[in-house]
Structure 1
Amino acid sequence: MVISKREKTCNKFAKKERKKGIIPGMLYGKNNNNFMFEVGELELNKNLKLSGEHGVLNLESGGKTQKALIKEVQREPVTNKILHVDLERVSSDDKIVTEVPLQFTGEGKISSKGGILQKEKTTVKVQCKANEIPSNLQVDLTKYDVGDIFRLQDLEIGEDLTFIEPSDSIIALVTHNNSSPEEQGEEEIDD
């Protein structure tokens, strides 16, 4: 992703630039000065879709390339448009802590059994090398029934990934699909 140095830093200027499709950002790093930059909104959105909102980006600026971890993406609450992005310089071998999104599969099977999936988490904190961050972690619900609990320890991960959160943390619950009040009233009359 190509970034360029941001010359002006006032809020009025940032608003004007956003209207033109330019997003301001800040690149932080070890033993380096902070670097205020700007990037095209379309290019940023494309890279966020590829790496996720907590992934690593390959940056190019002034003929130099470097890797950066996405630390925060600030969005406008109503339109969800990106307002600002914060990045942190990393090298491929750096061990970093980041969040990885959870991708739930098999919800249809739970519904067919009369259950409802109650998600307690949509991301989990992990530690791994910067070049080994998974785009997501799969939560396979096909083996679970109503009343079951899916915990962090139930996720299958490689040895290169370590959870920062307790392994008994609840990710999701499969609860009963309670019928509507009218249906409950009919059942009581039938008894």
Structure 2
Amino acid sequence: MEVLKVETRSKNSHHDAKKRRRQGKIPGIIYGTGMTNILFEIGELELHHAICKKGEHGIVDVGINGSEHSTIIKEVQRDPLSHKIIHIDLEEIQKDKKVTTTVPIHFVGEEMLNRFGAVIQKEKANVKVLCKPEDLPKYFELNVKDSSIGTIYTVGDLEVASEISIIDDIDAVLGSVSYEQKLVEAVEPQENKG
């Protein structure tokens, strides 16, 4: 597995973090049971590459100060305006032990619904799972292209490998298909000219 190289950083002022971000470095933290928290920074491009490959809740091996840590991405903080990553939290894991995390849901076939004026109203963007690190999927696909108005999708509709346990309620609603709400401009009634 590819090892992500990171550098330790010291906790300085908020202004220092901004300065480092301008230089293309993203601050982060590694924490876990029985270990001292490690503050680090990583190049923005390397981090984007890892997230594209593993997903925002994936498993990444991190190399820091000559030692390696198996970690799971716990949180990716983004700037609300630019959507750029501003911080990342990693939790150290044991590869032989199961992990609890969330897996995003990709709704597939939405464009087919849109063609006949329907949309999927999404209620949940991800589901919580328990599995071994090597069994963790990047995302779950939910195919909605053959839906009709009124179709409701629940967690139980997801196709999940037997090695993965879903922790969320299987009856929890992921999304429902309804007619697209179009904004209709109020038309002023014309005065009757007689």
- Which of these residues, 123, 126, 131, is aligned with residue 123 of structure 1? 126
8 Å CA contact 1:110–1:146 kept in 2: the answer is no
1:71 corresponds in structure 2 to 74
What is the rounded CA distance, in whole Å, between the counterparts of 2:28 and 2:181 in structure 1?
47
Unaligned runs of 5+ in 1: 183-191
1:102 corresponds in structure 2 to 105
Q: Structure 1 pair 14/108, CA: closer, same or farther in 2 (3 Å)?
A: closer
Q: Quote how far apart the aligned CAs of 1:178 are.
A: 5.4
Please state whether the residue corresponding to 1:50 is helix, strand or coil: helix
Q: Structure 1 pair 8/108, CA: closer, same or farther in 2 (3 Å)?
A: closer
2:20 corresponds in structure 1 to 17
Please state whether the residue corresponding to 1:46 is helix, strand or coil: helix
**Code of the aligned partner of 2:70:** K
**Code of the aligned partner of 1:163:** I
1:186 corresponds in structure 2 to none
Q: Quote how far apart the aligned CAs of 1:57 are.
A: 0.9
1:48 corresponds in structure 2 to 51
What is the rounded CA distance, in whole Å, between the counterparts of 1:47 and 1:79 in structure 2?
20
Unaligned runs of 5+ in 2: 186-194
Is 1:29 the equivalent of 2:32?
A: yes
2:144 corresponds in structure 1 to 141
What is the rounded CA distance, in whole Å, between the counterparts of 1:181 and 1:37 in structure 2?
52
More helix by share: 1
TM-score relative to the length of structure 2: 0.86
TM-score relative to the length of structure 1: 0.88
Q: Percent same amino acid among aligned pairs?
A: 36
Number of residue equivalences: 182
Please state whether the residue corresponding to 1:157 is helix, strand or coil: coil
8 Å CA contact 2:11–2:39 kept in 1: the answer is no
1:57 corresponds in structure 2 to 60
1:154 corresponds in structure 2 to 157
**Code of the aligned partner of 1:132:** D
1:169 corresponds in structure 2 to 172
Please state whether the residue corresponding to 1:109 is helix, strand or coil: helix
Q: Quote how far apart the aligned CAs of 1:158 are.
A: 1.1
Q: Structure 1 pair 21/180, CA: closer, same or farther in 2 (3 Å)?
A: closer
